[in-house]
Every structure is written in structure tokens, then in C-alpha cells.
Amino acid sequence: MQLPVVIPHETVEPAKPIAKKELDVVFSGQTTLEKDFQYETSVQQTVGEFVSAPMSAVEPRNTNVGYQPDANLNDRQIMEHFPDFSPVTLRIVFDNDIFDNTDYYYTNGVRIELALPFTDRSPINKILAGFKTPDVGLSGFAITQNIYTPINPEAIGIEYGDRPFAGYLTLGQFRENYLFQRRLYIKSAIDLGILGPASLGGRVQSSVHYLEPTGWAYQIQNSFIINYYFHIEKGLYSSPNLEVNVLGEANAGTLYDKIGGGISFRTGSFMQVYRGPLTACCGNTKKREWQYWFFMSGVTDFVGWDATLQGGLFNQKSPYVLASSEISRIVFRASAGVAVYYHRFGMELENFYLTPEFEGGRSFMYGRIKLVANF
């Protein structure tokens, strides 16, 4: 009985023109060299077609092939490589000094960020710093309210030599870019808003205090805010379990004028560079259902202007502000915390320490809770 002839599967690449080129054709143990052809092509064959041995006897070669993001991919292609990632991201950041059993200076803050796909087409997004072809890019809107008080917010009258009452409310747009292979991260933002009673800082604090903080009558008065923020991180060392980065920050505008730099560190099980609920990346297509890490950072700021201490640039009629000579020009801040992410959701707990921001002031601490979700 004659067995049927089995034609092996072949994958043939399209022919392409070449100049004169040598061709190696291996057929029945014979080699032909120095043949002139106008076109070339290649044929891929399976191992079994030219190895006279069972597959169990073929020794495998060790290799480690994984996906590496292409810096030239656009957002749509990035989403195809990272199917679990959505550009719709919600972050809620809540700061309060009650976590450190205090109630003064930077006493409360809330920032809500919502990243949406269409915001990268905003005219504002074009003036925000970022990479031209990032591996992953986020862009969205943010609303922020920060509240500041002296050491005794229930004092009657102005507490001279202490921090003035102040609050601000801003609405802005932010942009974030990641380059994984170069271990780079950039975040930039523009915020517009109001400093003073119109920010509702006094009303918010009064609603959560048992005793009425009467000093809000002497708060810094209404003044327009426009501020630009820039943050960059560069990985010095990165692995799935340890990461060390240098970082730089700058603020410019009517709210803050300062520049700083420092170093950050984290250890745990996480995706390199990226801090968020992205579950597949960087040479490993296997999903990371869980990510968790411990982190620390230290930054030194050089301060030129702080409107929460010195008052607004567009309104010099506040009852009480600190003079320029009373401002600490060098302020050190450190933080430490833990982060836990599961699939599309995450939570970070962080505690901050700051050296005195003005002459005669105290160092102080506050805590932060950060919630992150992708949809």
C-alpha cells in the first residue's frame, strides 16, 4: 500500500529586487555558490523536514523572547499591545495632617484627576511638556483644593509670625508620558484658579471642625492663579523588584515659583517605570494581576515665591502675609509609603515630612491616601 505524499508547510516571503548576491542553497548535502539572481526570496521550513531524528531527541536552545515596546507606536497600537490598559484613568488624592495627629499649616488637600482619550487633542495639551512618541501617554483634567492655617486656627485675631490662613481652588489639564526602555517619565500640568475666600477653603474646614476656625476672617484675599508644573524621573537602576530614580520638579506662575530635585526608591513586585494599573508591559506579556511596593523619596526645593505665604500677585490687600525676607528659600521634603494594585485598581498610602517653610515656623508632617482606577 502506497502512503500519501505529505507536503510540508512552507512560509514564503515576497520576492524583492537585489543587486548581485551570493546564494547558499542547501539541497541533499550539496552547496551552490556565486549564482547571479535579479531577485531573492527565502523559504522557512520546519525542523522535522531536514533533521532525521524524533523531536524528543532534539535538544532545545535556551532563549528569552519577550515583547519590547516600540517607541514609534501610536496610542492605538500601544493599546493593542496592552489590551488591559485603558486611557480612562481616575485618581483621587486626599491629603490631611490628621493622619499625624496635627491640625496646622498644610491641613487639607484634595486633587481629582481624570484621564480621557480625547484630551490629548486639546490645544492646552500641545503646550504641555512630553515625548513626541511615548510608549504610553495619558492626558486629562484635574481639580485641586488646598487649605492652609496657622498653628492655632481657633485663635481670635491675627497670629503674627505664623502662617496666614489661605486656600486655593484650581482647574487644569495634565499630561503624562512614559518611555520604558529609556526608563523616563514626564508629567506636566497647567492649573488656573483662585486664591482666597472664593476657593471656599474656610467653608470646607469649618464644616469638618468641631470648633469654628475664626481666623479665616484674616485669610489671604482673592487673587487669580495660573501655574505651570513639570516633573521628570530618570531610572538609575530598574528591575522587577527594585527601582532607583533621580527626579526633578519645577513650578512657575502666580502660585508657586520653585525648582527642586532629589531621588526616589521603591522595592516590591511591580512593573518598571510605570506607576499604575497597567497589567502587561516591558518584555513580559504575562498579566501582573498584583503589584505592590514600598517607596521612599527625598527632594530639596529652592523657593522663589509661595503665594500661600506671601499673598497673591494680583491682590496686595490681604490683612496679613509673610514678608519675602521671612520665607525659607531651601525646603527639604521626604516621604515614605506603600502601594498595592490589583488589575485595574490601586491604593497608595504615603506620609510626608517638610522642614520649616518660613522663619520661626515648624517642621511638619501630613499623610496621603491615593486611589487609582482604570475603566
How far apart CA 142 and CA 171 sit, in angstroms, is: 6
pLDDT in tens, 160-175: 999 999 999 999 999 9
Residue 227 confidence (pLDDT): 98
How far apart CA 280 and CA 222 sit, in angstroms, is: 47
How distant, in Å, are the alpha carbons of 93, 139, 168, 204, 259 from that of 110?
6, 19, 11, 11, 23
How far apart CA 360 and CA 162 sit, in angstroms, is: 8
How far apart CA 23 and CA 192 sit, in angstroms, is: 67
pLDDT in tens, 119-153: 888 899 989 999 988 888 899 999 999 999 999 88
For residues 274 and 136, the answer to whether their CB atoms sit within 8 Å is: yes
Residue 49 confidence (pLDDT): 55
- Residue 134's nearest CA partner among 170, 187, 96 is 187
How distant, in Å, are the alpha carbons of 8, 26, 54, 236 from that of 33?
26, 10, 31, 50
pLDDT in tens, 16-53: 554 444 444 444 444 444 444 455 555 555 555 555 55
Higher pLDDT, 220 or 85: 220
Q: CA end-to-end span of the chain, whole Å?
A: 63
For residues 118 and 141, the answer to whether their CB atoms sit within 8 Å is: no
pLDDT in tens, 43-92: 555 555 555 555 555 555 544 434 444 444 444 444 445 544 557 899 99
Instruction: Kindly report which listed range (27-31, 209-213, 314-318, 332-336) carries the lowest average pLDDT score.
Output: 27-31
Q: Which helix (H) or strand (E) holds 76?
A: helix 75-81
pTM of the model: 0.76
User: Could you give all domains of the chain from N- to C-terminal order, each with its CATH number?
Assistant: 11-57 (no CATH), 75-374 (2.40.128.140)
